[in-house]
């Protein structure tokens, strides 16, 4: 099946450069503010929002999930949203190729509508397995900061290591969902279930 690469090659390299800068900033700044928990949390949310945007840039979905080349990419946030306006500001006016990004928020899984990307908030730590089971092998990129999310069937999970925000990618679940991510992104990730 023909895949749609959602960004131009030149955009990839520029985005990769920005992602490296982001990681450097995370290394240099993030937990140097550990005596200021509120500031620390805000920085953490800004970093994760930036990562989410970059995940969209480096992901590939089957052509069948888009009605046309200008159909929006829908990013759903499920549960108690930790980002607030930070995520909206991060993706405001941004496009992946010709696809605008739309954010939708849902308080419960019963309200969840179609999406390309599903961020499952930590408030759903007791229900996320059922959510993943319901999604099954649909081409939905699932992301969370719930402990063990990627190991338990999610696609991408945030975790902290040596006071830095890191991310893990489950290759097996990506393949099952007919999703791909750039090898450049994989080089920065902890790989779960390599294929």
Q: What pLDDT, on the 0 to 100 scale, is given for residue 25?
A: 54
Q: How confident is the model at residue 162 (pLDDT cuts 50, 70, 90)?
A: confident
Kindly list the strands in the beta sheet with 156-161, ordered across the sheet, starting from the edge strand earlier in the chain.
Answer: 95-96, 99-106, 73-78, 117-120, 141-144, 156-161, 164-170, 190-192
| pLDDT of 30 above 90 | no
92 vs 12 pLDDT, higher one: 92
What is the fold, at CATH topology level, of the domain defined by 3-192?
Answer: Rossmann fold (3.40.50)
Tell me the pTM. 0.82
DSSP assignment of 88-104 equals HHHHTT-EETTEEEEEE
b/e map of 30-65 (b: 16 or more CB within 10 Å)? bbeeeeeeeebeebbbbbbbbbbbbbbbbbbbeeeb
Q: What pLDDT, on the 0 to 100 scale, is given for residue 15?
A: 57
| pLDDT of 116 above 70 | yes
| pLDDT of 18 above 90 | no
């Amino acid at each position: 099946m023909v895949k749609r690469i959602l960004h131009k090659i030149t955009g990839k390299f520029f985005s990769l450069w920005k992602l490296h800068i982001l990681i450097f900033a995370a290394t240099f700044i993030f937990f140097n503010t550990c005596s200021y928990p509120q500031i620390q949390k805000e920085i953490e949310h800004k970093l994760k929002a930036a990562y989410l945007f970059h995940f969209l840039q480096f992901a590939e979905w089957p052509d069948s999930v888009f009605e046309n080349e200008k159909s929006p990419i829908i990013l759903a946030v499920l549960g108690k949203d930790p980002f607030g306006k930070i995520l909206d500001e991060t993706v405001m006016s941004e496009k992946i190729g010709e696809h605008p990004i739309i954010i939708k928020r849902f308080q419960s899984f019963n309200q969840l509508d179609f999406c390309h990307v599903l961020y499952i908030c930590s408030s759903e730590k007791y229900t996320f397995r059922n959510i993943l089971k319901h999604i099954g092998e649909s081409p939905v990129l699932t992301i969370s900061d719930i402990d063990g999310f990627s190991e338990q069937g999610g696609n991408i999970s945030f975790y902290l290591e040596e006071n830095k925000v890191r991310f893990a990618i489950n290759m097996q679940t990506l393949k099952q969902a007919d999703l791909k991510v750039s090898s450049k992104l994989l080089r920065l990730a902890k790989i779960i279930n390599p294929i």
